[in-house]
Amino acid sequence: MASLIVSYKESDVLLAVLVMPEDVYKNMWKHLLPKKMKYEQAAFLFVNASQSAGEIKLEYREWYAIPPRGFLIQSAGHIELNDETRATVIKKAHDLQACLVEFHSHLYSYEVGFSWSDISGFKEFVPHVMWRLKGRPYAAVVVGKTGFDALIWSKAANLPELLSEIHVGKRILRPTGATLRGGFE
C-alpha cells in the first residue's frame, strides 16, 4: 500500500482542478450526504480533461448517482460496486471520451480522508480504468460532513497526487489533504 502514498517535492506538484456547476454540486452532495444517512453512497462524474505544463483541468460533462442496486456491498463503513456498475461507468466514459471522477461518502469522519479499504481498492481499480480509458486521468473524491479529500492519477496508476481544488461556480473548495499526509481515519 505504501506505493500509493507518495510525497512530492514542491516543484513536482501538479495543480489539478475540478470544475462543476453549482446545481450539480448541490445535487451530488444531497445524494452523497443525505439527511438520514445509513450507508455510504457513491457517484461518478464524467469530465473533459485539458492539460498544460504542471496543470490539469477537469471540466464537468455529466454525472451518475449509483443506485442501491449498483452495489455489491453497501454499509455504513464500506461500499463495493458490482461488476455491472463498474462496466457501465467505464463504458460511458469510453463512449464520451471522458475521464472518470469517483465520489463516495464516509459517515464517520473527523478529518475526511480515504480509508485503507479505499486505498486497497484503488490498487486494483485505478490501473484497470486508466488502461480501459487509454491513459486518461482518474480522480477520486471522498466526502464527509466536515469536508472532503481528493486524489488524481494523471501520470501513473500507482502515483496519486492531490486534486488541488474543486471550483463550484465562483467558490473554490480545497481538500483536507489528509490521505497524502498519511492521516487516515
Query: CB of 46 within 8 A of CB of 94?
Result: no
Render 39-97 in DSSP notation, one character per residue: S--EEEEEEEEEEETTEEEEEEEEEEEPPGGGEEEE-SS-EEE-HHHHHHHHHHHHHHT
Nearest to 133 by CA among 180, 82, 99, 178: 99
Query: CB of 112 within 8 A of CB of 178?
Result: yes
Q: Once rounded to an integer, what is the mean pLDDT over residues 38-48?
A: 98
Number of residues in the chain: 185
Residue 108's pLDDT is 83
Nearest to 122 by CA among 82, 153, 162, 94: 153
- Domain map of the chain by residue range? 12-181
- pLDDT digits 0-9 by tens, 92-120: 999 999 999 999 999 987 789 999 999 99
Q: What is the domain class of 12-181 according to CATH?
A: alpha beta
- Cα–Cα distance, 156 to 113 (Å, whole number): 21
Of 69-73, 84-88, 126-130, 181-185, the one with minimum mean pLDDT is 181-185
- pLDDT digits 0-9 by tens, 127-184: 999 999 999 999 999 999 999 999 999 988 888 999 999 999 999 999 999 999 984 3
Residue 61's pLDDT is 98
Nearest to 141 by CA among 77, 58, 39, 74: 58
What is the spatial order of strands in the sheet that 138-144 belongs to? 161-162, 147-153, 138-144, 99-105, 42-52, 55-65, 15-20, 165-168, 171-173
